[in-house]
Structure 1
Amino acid sequence: MRVFTRRARRHAVRLPDHARDVLPRRRSTRAVISAALLAVAMVLPACGAGDTPTDAAAAAHRLRESGDGTLTIYNSYKIAGLDPIGTGTNWLFDWGVAENLLQVAEDGTVQPWLARDVSRDGDTRWVVTLRDGVTFQNGAPVDAPAVAAALTRQIARSSAAQVYLDPATTATVEGGKVVLTTPRPNAMVPAALAARDNSLQIYDVAAMAAAGGDSAKIVGAGAYSGPYEITEWSPDNLVLAPYPRHWEGPPPLRGVTVRVVPDEQARLAGVRSGEADMAFYPSTSAQLELQGDSDTHVLSSPEALQSLLVEMNAKAGIFTDVAVRKAFAAAIDYEAVAADVGNGQFEAATGLYPQNMPFAVADQVHDLDAAQRLLDDAGWRTGPDGIRQKDGRKLVVRFVTQAQGPETNDVAIAIQDQVAKAGFALRIDNAEDSAEVKKDPTAWESSVALSGSLSGTADPVQPYLVRWTTGGSSNAQGVANAEIDDIGRQLRGEFDPGRRDQLLERAQRILVAEQAYVVAGTFKYFTVVTGPEWADYTVSNVRRHITSRTGA
């Protein structure tokens, strides 16, 4: 794992160049208002005028000390279940319940967590040395037999774990240590042990087995080892209590509540009223909406690591033609998407990966002339309404966005105006469940969602395998490319970082420049709206929203 390039992240919003030439592009009402407000150099500070960051941190700490010591978060995504062999338990990593053997730190380095050390012994053996004295929340020891049992259960029964590890991988105990043995060389083991998803979280297998897959019975079982344990759960509400015997020391908060509030305005209103301390997943217009509101603060992660991928359906419809895919990709103005829509929350995409990644290739180029030439050569002619046609068919793109991610709709509106100049007609479908829509290849042509080219812990290989290899679990596009598949096989077993980077670079050339299966619409900073008592909250690059030190 490589180190991110660190930089200070403040909430000064990017000023448009001469107000973007007096708004030359036709945009949505929201975008026009946003650009007009940006022209007055709006800044949302995290502290009052004249305060230093240290002053703000001290003031926020005093406010928390004077409160009830709890943290309430309004979130937009359901907490699907509590057993890691299912789906949706990545939130237990986010909210400080579950822990892994390794973690990706904020600077991008893989570091110890429950494991004191993980070492490779040859090409197929990994030796895990555990921390001493760690216990699950029910008091059972987090020792080698317990860890081996959790790994074995996940490898056998979790589809997420099997993306990383062949089901023939074994976890055994040797001399008080855990030994992972893979059937063939597997360079993904460190990423697997650090992943935030529900692949290889460590838990008490006996407690989980006793629950028999019933999440309600996992509540109160103390099956995890994190600083906060589950006392109440439903898909819409998670209530946590501190685990005082946590190996890093007693956590400082008296309790944590994560409530699912789908409506963004209701989430923001909760922070304004004091009912919630934080609102997650604000839209890109939230900064402008909250301008001048002293009771709220808009905070972002230092790095913009989450890509909003624009995927094209290669199974059916207009995008089965590579020339049409290339034209669509060239018609998107990536700089304008970030500048006109992001309000400081977006970083312009020049390729599939953030440019501070060593393997990133800058091959996403806005070129309207090239887009028009490609369509001309492919026989698409401009009709009287400006929409291109061929053989009686119009160049219409049914473009699926994600209702739970309001920024996806904002990006779609910007792209809609841009690709119209090349002759595409974008029809936006803001779906409650975009993944469900995309199961029918005849129901869509393209989509944008909060899906990423990097995992939540900044690993490029796992998303590559599930999104772009033939039969991948998230490959709704129907990408089926022999060289992409071969690169995926090589990435699994490549231990040399330089060679891995070369493989990823070649893959990007195919995915973006040669075949135009997918592009990154933009990169997003993870953003949180907080009340005044949390003005010093540090937003995580890698989704560790609550740790044993949050609130200290």
Structure 2
Amino acid sequence: MSHHLNAARRRTLLAVAALAAVQPWRSALAHGDDAPHSHAVTRADAGVLTVVGPWEMTGLDPSRSGYMFARMEVVETLLEVDDSGHLRAGLATTWRVSDDGLQWRFALRSGRRYHDGSALTPASVLACLQRAAQRPGVLQLAAIATMQLEGSDLVITLRQPFGPFPYLLTHYTTQILAPASFDAKGNVQAIIGSGPYRIRSLSLPQQFDVERVALIESGQGRPVQRARYISVSRAETRTLLVQSGQADLAFSLDPPSIRALQDHPRAALLSTMLPRTTILKLNAGHPFLADVRVRRAIALCIEREGIARALLRDPDLGATQLFPPALARWHDASLPPLQTDLKQARRLLEEAGWRLGTDGVRWREGQRLALNLTTFVDRPELPLIATALQEEMRQIGIAVRVVIGNSSDIPAGHRSGLLQMALAARNYGNLPEPVASLLQDFGPEGGDWGAMGWRNTEVPALLAQLAAAPADRDRSLRQRITAVLQEQLPVIPVVWYRQTCAVSRRLRGASIDPFERSYRISSLQWT
């Protein structure tokens, strides 16, 4: 275990060193853009909102980094969602579906322009969505037959009903870009959107600057006219930038950073529960894990509240079920919660034929109950949680070897069939109505971040039934799906997730989008 952790740390340190070598903005930020010898934020930068987070921009295509351009309010989608996950208007003002559930009609907003001054026309919207439908992305989840225009309405016809379809049009991969954004081959060459901010400069993969399209002055305060996003991989570095006054918003803070910033004179902390769960993905097709009694034993040995308290500094994040309270339509408060019971866990393993050996590990028919647990360092808490799970499973006689690699190792292991257990953070709010995501995770063949080798027909059938209905109906189906997942445990919930953001005290009006679609900088004002 220590070898793998040390190797992972070495890789991380080497990556940070390499990143620092090619990022001149580090020294610029440390000294101020216009005052090389000053350690304070310069006068020139005083009106530039600086946002730091761990995410790099890996390309211009919406499928690669579209979420960052959406968060900085450069691009827009046809529909938006509120904090409860309910649909609201975006570039489409209204939407409706035919009685047979096959035809969706969207009335498009008129009089809008892209940042290059060209008109935002129904034809340009149609072209963007047709392009998105031809590429890997959320539109592949619906069986789209045709897209066409009828006057200023966009009409999309499906081959079969798909109730959550409008939610697909909230996803960043369906963002609407100006025709000039694309080259002759349809590749994105520039980000020309229609949001409140336009791109001012862009330096992939670390930084881009935006400016407000229409300059606004208000007697109530000064709105943010210019903003900058900088990718800063290490949480402690983001914290230092906040403490020194060189970052105004800092996202994805770890517990040490949160402690360091509590009651800080330069920044306040905001937090909200997100629809994300850290899960233990199990290969239910593996001979050791096919027996549901073994999966239940593993679930019973996990001290969720202890992990949440010790590692996340928030005992309320112990996951008593798969879907967190932030996912209100799926969280079932009446569901019996997952609990910790080592005696019951050991009893279940005994019933499954696993006897404790002299080495403290269980054996059955000459085979040792030893499993690999794969995780990654993209989220710094995952290796720590993996270490805790390793110890907790040891206490019931399961030997666990933690393997720390890249996030891509988990889908690769799923597809090859070699994955045994994996620890990952699953975002169930990637689409505000997660039916489409759940169809990927718990469909007949399982999914990269969901079930593996799990033979169950009820959940895929219920999900298919739910997908054919309007998203706001059939609560009983959602409750039954949640109950079966709690009983069968193809994935085991460990902890929920809380987004904590540091906000400069120079700002007011800050709030956190629980679906992580926007940083809401257009709502901020300088004090």
User: 1:284·1:407 contact (CA, 8 Å) conserved in 2?
Assistant: no
Q: State the partner residue of 2:80.
A: 103
CA distance in 2, matches of 1:479, 1:240: 46
Q: State the partner residue of 2:117.
A: 139
Q: Given the alignment of the two structures, is residue 307 of structure 1 paired with residue 277 of structure 2, yes or no?
A: yes
User: 2:281·2:449 contact (CA, 8 Å) conserved in 1?
Assistant: no
Question: Residue 281 of structure 1 is aligned with which of 252, 261, 266?
Answer: 252
CA 384–537 in structure 1, closer or farther in 2 if over 3 Å, else same = farther
Shift of 1:282: 1.5
SS of the equivalent of 1:423 reads coil
Q: Given the alignment of the two structures, is residue 474 of structure 1 paired with residue 474 of structure 2, yes or no?
A: no
Question: Residue 190 of structure 2 is aligned with which of 218, 234, 248?
Answer: 218
SS of the equivalent of 2:182 reads helix
Shift of 1:538: 1.4
Q: State the partner residue of 1:520.
A: 493
Q: Given the alignment of the two structures, is residue 162 of structure 1 paired with residue 140 of structure 2, yes or no?
A: yes
Match of 1:503, as an amino acid?
A: L
Question: Residue 237 of structure 1 is aligned with which of 206, 215, 233?
Answer: 206
Alpha-carbon displacement from aligned partner over 1:438-464 (angstroms, at most 9, x marks no partner): 413565422222213x22353221220
Within-5 A mapping of 1:83-482:
83-84=61-62, 86-122=63-99, 123-163=101-141, 165-168=142-145, 170-195=146-171, 197-198=172-173, 200-204=174-178, 206-210=179-183, 212=185, 215=188, 217-219=189-191, 222=192, 224-245=193-214, 252-291=223-262, 293-301=264-272, 303-316=273-286, 318-344=288-314, 347-355=317-325, 357-361=328-332, 362-363=335-336, 364-431=338-405, 433-440=406-413, 441=416, 444-452=419-427, 454-471=428-445, 474-475=448-449, 477-482=452-457
Identity over aligned pairs, percent: 25
CA distance in 1, matches of 2:471, 2:209: 41
Q: Given the alignment of the two structures, is residue 494 of structure 1 paired with residue 463 of structure 2, yes or no?
A: no
Shift of 1:537: 2.5
Match of 1:312, as an amino acid?
A: L
**How many residue pairs align between the two structures?**
475
Q: Which moves more between the two structures, 438-447 or 306-315?
A: 438-447
Shift of 1:475: 4.8
Shift of 1:111: 0.9
Match of 2:434, as an amino acid?
A: P
CA 321–282 in structure 1, closer or farther in 2 if over 3 Å, else same = same
In the alignment, structure 1 segments of 5+ residues that lack a partner are 1-62
CA distance in 2, matches of 1:383, 1:257: 59
CA distance in 2, matches of 1:273, 1:74: 13
User: 1:75·1:259 contact (CA, 8 Å) conserved in 2?
Assistant: yes
CA distance in 2, matches of 1:275, 1:390: 59
Q: State the partner residue of 1:78.
A: 56
Shift of 1:540: 1.7
In the alignment, structure 2 segments of 5+ residues that lack a partner are 1-40
Alpha-carbon displacement from aligned partner over 1:329-387 (angstroms, at most 9, x marks no partner): 12212232333332138523221112462443434333322211111011212233432
Shift of 1:394: 3.0
SS of the equivalent of 2:408 reads helix
User: 2:66·2:175 contact (CA, 8 Å) conserved in 1?
Assistant: no
User: 1:147·1:202 contact (CA, 8 Å) conserved in 2?
Assistant: yes
CA 474–97 in structure 1, closer or farther in 2 if over 3 Å, else same = farther
Q: Given the alignment of the two structures, is residue 540 of structure 1 paired with residue 513 of structure 2, yes or no?
A: yes
Q: State the partner residue of 1:10.
A: none
Q: Which moves more between the two structures, 98-107 or 433-442?
A: 433-442
SS of the equivalent of 2:120 reads coil
User: 1:75·1:281 contact (CA, 8 Å) conserved in 2?
Assistant: yes
User: 1:75·1:279 contact (CA, 8 Å) conserved in 2?
Assistant: yes
Q: Which moves more between the two structures, 75-84 or 345-354?
A: 345-354
Within-5 A mapping of 1:30-49:
none
SS of the equivalent of 1:373 reads helix
User: 2:510·2:520 contact (CA, 8 Å) conserved in 1?
Assistant: no
Match of 1:330, as an amino acid?
A: L
Q: Which moves more between the two structures, 317-326 or 435-444?
A: 435-444
Alpha-carbon displacement from aligned partner over 1:142-182 (angstroms, at most 9, x marks no partner): 2322222222221232333212x2142x2211122111221
Question: Residue 508 of structure 1 is aligned with which of 473, 482, 492?
Answer: 482
CA distance in 1, matches of 2:43, 2:285: 57
CA distance in 2, matches of 1:504, 1:246: 46
Q: State the partner residue of 1:16.
A: none
Match of 1:73, as an amino acid?
A: V
User: 2:58·2:204 contact (CA, 8 Å) conserved in 1?
Assistant: yes
CA distance in 2, matches of 1:231, 1:435: 33
CA distance in 2, matches of 1:177, 1:214: 26
**TM-score after normalising by structure 2:** 0.81
SS of the equivalent of 2:524 reads coil
CA 88–489 in structure 1, closer or farther in 2 if over 3 Å, else same = farther
CA distance in 2, matches of 1:130, 1:340: 50
- RMSD (Å) for aligned C-alpha atoms: 3.1
Alpha-carbon displacement from aligned partner over 1:301-351 (angstroms, at most 9, x marks no partner): 2x3422112211234463233322121112212232333332138523221
More strand by share: 2
Shift of 1:292: 5.4
Q: Which moves more between the two structures, 457-466 or 442-451?
A: 442-451
CA 495–65 in structure 1, closer or farther in 2 if over 3 Å, else same = farther
User: 2:288·2:294 contact (CA, 8 Å) conserved in 1?
Assistant: yes
User: 1:330·1:368 contact (CA, 8 Å) conserved in 2?
Assistant: yes
**TM-score after normalising by structure 1:** 0.78
Alpha-carbon displacement from aligned partner over 1:370-429 (angstroms, at most 9, x marks no partner): 211111011212233432233343333322233121122333233333333222233333
CA 443–549 in structure 1, closer or farther in 2 if over 3 Å, else same = same
User: 2:212·2:226 contact (CA, 8 Å) conserved in 1?
Assistant: no
Q: Which moves more between the two structures, 103-112 or 331-340?
A: 331-340
CA distance in 1, matches of 2:215, 2:90: 13
Match of 1:294, as an amino acid?
A: P
CA distance in 1, matches of 2:509, 2:400: 41
User: 1:484·1:507 contact (CA, 8 Å) conserved in 2?
Assistant: yes
